[in-house]
Amino acid sequence: MSLGKVFLLPMLLHEEGWDSIPSDIVKWIQECDAFFVENEKTTRRYFKKLWREMIIEEYIWHAIHKVETEQIQSFKELLKAGKNIGIISEAGCAGVADPGQILVGIAQEMGAQVKPYVGPNSILLALMASGMNGQLFQFHGYLPIDSAERKKKIQALEQDTRVRNCTQICIETPYRNDQLLDAILQSCHASTKVCIGVDLTGPSEWIKTGTVDYWKKNKPSLHKKLAVFLIGQ
């Protein structure tokens, strides 16, 4: 029996961002026999809105907030049995800043076909709109929580930006956004550019690039908002 396929399915970034989801997604869902998802409740609700006739209980479900030995074994067994598997992140593109990347790596090792499908990605959307270097960029995920370590990391990123013109991208837990912005503004030179993207694909979306000096004079409140931060030239 041939191996099953792995479908990397896009998820909403914002609950009102339906226009960002490809029209063919229902067809891709219908090709799957099982789903490995970051949040099962969210994904089930999302699928039912896309495809009301879907019978959720007819599919195999695994949550992958953390990928553990048991999930890996189930993933391998399903692929060996010829079952097609869909992987879905909590937001955005599966496998990008997402625990599903571990399963994708296993699928590649097994020789299974992996089919990535495009959808909204906050990292790329913010980069596209920032006006910063899109030829050379790095995504760092979450920066250190410790204030001293975070300052050291931000200064290193700024230095790399100055030396290589490399755009630096990071995110933060929504309730710590304001602290991260404060740390960036306190750690970087006045002329360094910072882009902030908020609520991407949602009705309240905004993306603005300005210098550190500009943001010090026009500092927004980002508490509990979905935000992406970029440092560049």
Residue 196 pLDDT > 90 = yes
User: Which pLDDT score is estimated for 153?
Assistant: 98
User: Which pLDDT score is estimated for 67?
Assistant: 79
How far is 25 from 40, CA to CA, in rounded Å?
18
Share of the chain above pLDDT 70, in %: 100
For 102-150, the DSSP string reads HHHHHHHHHT--EEE-----HHHHHHHHH-S-SSSEEEEEEPPSSHHHH
Which of the four pLDDT bands, split at 50, 70 and 90, describes residue 99? Answer: confident
Residue 33 pLDDT > 80 = yes
Residue 1 pLDDT > 80 = no
3-state secondary structure of 16: coil
Residue 77 pLDDT > 90 = yes
User: What digits encode the pLDDT tens for the residues 79-94?
Assistant: 999 999 999 999 999 9
> Mean pLDDT of all residues in the chain?
96
Quick check: pTM over 0.85? yes
User: Which pLDDT score is estimated for 28?
Assistant: 97
User: Which pLDDT score is estimated for 188?
Assistant: 98
How far is 78 from 5, CA to CA, in rounded Å?
10
Q: Which of 90, 128, 85 is nearest to 104 (CA)?
A: 85
- Lowest mean pLDDT across 28-32, 37-41, 135-139: 37-41
* 150-to-145, 162, 185, 186 alpha-carbon distances in Å: 6, 18, 12, 11
* Mean pLDDT score, 40-44: 95
C-alpha torsion sign, points 144, 150, 153, 154: positive
Q: Please say whether the beta carbons of 67 and 99 come within 8 A.
A: yes
User: Which pLDDT score is estimated for 68?
Assistant: 84
* Mean pLDDT score, 224-229: 96
Share of the chain above pLDDT 90, in %: 92
Consecutive H or E run containing 196? strand 193-198
Beta strands 34-37; 60-63: pairing state: parallel
